[in-house]
Every structure is written in C-alpha cells, then in structure tokens.
C-alpha cells in the first residue's frame, strides 16, 4: 500500500504556491512606535473651545489604541455565494457522483440477498477506526502547527525529514499490523503512534486557508463515501483483481512525483505533465484503492467468519487512512492552484 511518501517534498513544494501576503492575516498588535503628536489632549496650548478639545482627545484616544486588522491574503473569492447555495452544490455533486459511479461500476450487485450481519459489523468497525484515526491526525496536526512544529519541520534538512518520516511511519504501521489483535495495548499504542507520525508530517498543510482545507476534506469524504458505497454493494470479490493494476498505477504516480528531482527546470512542459499525473492520476489510483480496500474488508470478514483469519479492523483502517490522506493532499493542492489562478 502506497503512503504519503511517494513524493517526498510534495507538501513543501505545494506550499510555495501560497501567496506571501498570507503573513498579513496575522493581527498586527505590534505596530511602529507612535509618533509624538503636537496637538494632543495634554499638550495643546491653543484650544479654541469645547469642540476642538473633544476632537483632540478623540484623536489621541484613537491613535493610542489603534490596531491593524488586515485581511488581504484571501479575498472573498472563497466566500462567493451563501451557505445554502454551497450546501446545494455540494449535495448535487455528491449525489451525481454517487449515481454516476453506481451506473458505471455497480451494474452487478450482490446475489446473496444483501450484506450479512457479520460483514456489516466488520465494515462498521473498520469505518469507525478509520474516522477515529483521521480525527487524531487532524487534531494532532493542528496542535503541532500551533506550537510552531510546522516551521521547524520546513526549516529542517529535507532528506533528514524524509528518512526519519519513512522510518517512523512505516515502522509504526507495520508494527501495528504485525501485532496480534488480542494484544490491545501494544496494537493501539503502535496505531496511535502511526497516526501521530502522519500528523507530524502533514502539519505544514495547516498553512493553507481553513476554507481550502474544509473544502478538500468535504470533497475527500464525498469521493471516498461514494466509492465505498459501490464497493460495499457490488458483487462479491468483483474488484479484488484491481490489486495488481493499482500497484502499477502507484509506481507511475510515484515516478511522476520524483520527476522534479531529476528533470531540469527548463523542461517546463514535461514538469507540467508530471504534475498533472501526480495530482489527477493519483486521485484515480487512490480512488481505485478505496474500492479495492472496501471489498478486501468484506472478503476478510467472510474469512474470519469461517475461522481462516482473525478479525482485525485496526489493520483494515490503516489502508483506508492512507487512501484518505493521499486523496486529501491532492484535493488541497488542486483547490489551492485554482484559488491562485482566480487571483
């Protein structure tokens, strides 16, 4: 299963697209020193009356307590339309995607009378762990970003970050997957460490505007939800053959992600196509992995019911978490690029 490290510096490279004016979104409480005014309430010597005295005192009060609240980084391009229209558009996109995917990929539905209770229970437990893991990643990434971790991470040596990140992420992931489900303490400790490692690596995404992150999260949930619905209601083991082709697709996406490290900057057209393959090809590949992983969960549920393997929703959730992370990162980059073009 591919992880976020298929393109080592994707997050830092994408963050360069954020306008430098975003620094002005911070409230400036420390302005330049106030210049001494000759006509203040306390130094005025030629007051012509109560009106002049009141005007001078008001100016002194305003200049003393002045604060700069500048919000020039993100203009209302992100806030076009009201909330009702956005909800309608989002619902229409989600519903249309669900119908289209069903018509294309879900023509052969289950022939065993629907999903049995043990498959539904196993799938629900897997989705519960997936949502909990993504929540841990989001909260931890936000907390690390607020504590200045993102700045230190981006200022560190990229190769050191890549090496330590690979060791920490892959080590905790395989450690959690290799631990027996009966060993709750060790398994959930390693699973929590895996989520925290992902949060530490994804914390620089918090430099983006919250509206972009919210929209990317909504689109990712909609995309994965519709694909998961298709995988859960399709014919048994219909999409398990996708494992091999998807691995080949991941290899192509990974090579396109590494292209900027090999291809010179003068080959702009080649770099542009490699960027498109990384973004849109990655969306297609990890959308396919979501379909494959959901059907794999149902297959494992049937095997565990026969006693051929143990129930382990934690292991199943790790694959879906990686699918979510890879789709979410690409959604953020696409939305950020669209927002920069509108400006």
**Ramachandran assignment for 114, one of left (phi > 0), alpha (psi -120 to 50 degrees), beta (any other):** left
Q: What is the pLDDT along the chain (343 residues), one digit of tens a residue?
A: 444 444 444 554 544 554 444 444 334 334 444 444 444 434 444 444 444 544 554 554 444 444 333 333 333 344 444 656 666 766 666 666 656 665 555 555 556 556 788 889 999 999 999 999 999 999 999 999 999 888 888 888 777 777 888 888 999 999 999 999 999 899 999 999 999 999 999 999 999 989 899 989 988 998 898 888 888 888 877 778 888 888 888 888 888 877 777 777 677 787 888 888 888 988 999 999 999 999 999 999 999 998 888 999 999 999 999 999 999 999 999 999 887 777 6
Predicted local confidence at residue 73, as pLDDT = 38
Nearest to 214 by CA among 78, 93, 70, 337: 78
Under a CB-based contact definition with an 8 Å cutoff, are residues 193 and 211 in contact? no
Tokens of 219: 């689109």
Predicted local confidence at residue 107, as pLDDT = 53
Nearest to 226 by CA among 314, 105, 55, 72: 105
Predicted local confidence at residue 47, as pLDDT = 43
d(CA 285, CA 249) in angstroms, rounded, equals 6
| pTM passes above 0.85 | no
The terminus-to-terminus CA distance of the chain in angstroms comes to 37
**Ramachandran assignment for 148, one of left (phi > 0), alpha (psi -120 to 50 degrees), beta (any other):** left
d(CA 132, CA 314) in angstroms, rounded, equals 11
d(CA 237, CA 235) in angstroms, rounded, equals 6
Domain ranges of the chain: 124-207, 209-343
Predicted local confidence at residue 90, as pLDDT = 62
Give the length of the chain.
Answer: 343
Q: How far, in Å, are 21, 136, 160, 293, 341 from residue 72 at the CA level?
A: 7, 32, 35, 43, 16
For 16-27, the DSSP string reads: TTS-GGGGGGS-
How many helices (H) does the chain have, and how many strands (E)?
12, 0
For 138-165, the DSSP string reads: HHHHHHHHHTTHHHHHHHS-HHHHHHHH
Phi, psi dihedrals of residue 38, rounded to the nearest 5°: -80, -20
- For tokens 């305003």, the residue is 62
pLDDT single digits (tens) 315-332? 999 999 999 999 999 999
d(CA 40, CA 21) in angstroms, rounded, equals 35
d(CA 98, CA 109) in angstroms, rounded, equals 15
d(CA 101, CA 333) in angstroms, rounded, equals 24
Under a CB-based contact definition with an 8 Å cutoff, are residues 223 and 94 in contact? no
């Amino acid at each position: 299963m591919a992880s976020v490290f298929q393109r080592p510096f994707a997050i830092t490279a994408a963050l360069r697209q954020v306008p430098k004016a975003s620094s002005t979104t911070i409230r400036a409480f420390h302005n330049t020193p106030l210049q001494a005014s000759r006509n203040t309430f306390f130094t005025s010597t030629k007051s012509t009356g109560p009106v002049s005295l009141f005007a001078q005192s008001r100016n002194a009060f305003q200049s003393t307590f002045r604060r700069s609240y500048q919000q020039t980084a993100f203009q209302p391009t992100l806030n076009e339309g009201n909330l009702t229209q956005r909800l309608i558009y989002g619902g229409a996109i989600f519903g249309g995607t669900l119908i289209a995917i069903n018509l294309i990929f879900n023509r052969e539905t289950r022939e065993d009378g629907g999903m049995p209770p043990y498959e539904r229970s196993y799938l629900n437990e897997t989705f519960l762990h997936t949502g909990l893991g993504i929540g841990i990643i989001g909260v931890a990434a936000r907390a690390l970003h607020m504590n200045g971790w993102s700045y230190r991470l981006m200022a560190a040596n990229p190769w050191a970050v890549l090496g330590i990140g690979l060791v920490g992420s892959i080590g905790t992931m395989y450690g959690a997957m290799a631990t027996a489900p009966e060993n709750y303490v060790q398994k959930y400790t390693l699973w929590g460490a895996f989520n925290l490692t992902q949060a530490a690596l994804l914390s620089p995404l918090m430099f983006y505007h919250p509206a972009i992150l919210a929209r990317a999260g909504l689109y990712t949930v909609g995309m994965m939800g519709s694909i998961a619905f298709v995988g859960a209601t399709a014919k048994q083991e219909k999409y398990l053959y996708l494992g091999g082709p998807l691995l080949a697709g991941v290899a192509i996406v990974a090579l396109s992600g590494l292209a900027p490290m090999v291809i010179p900057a003068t080959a702009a057209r080649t770099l542009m196509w490699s960027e498109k393959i990384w973004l849109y090809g990655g969306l297609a590949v990890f959308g396919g992995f979501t379909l494959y992983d959901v059907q794999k969960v149902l297959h494992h549920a049937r095997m565990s019911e026969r006693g051929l393997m143990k129930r382990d929703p934690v292991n199943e959730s790790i694959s879906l978490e990686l699918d979510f992370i890879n789709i979410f990162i690409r959604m953020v980059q696409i939305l950020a690029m669209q927002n920069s073009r509108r400006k």
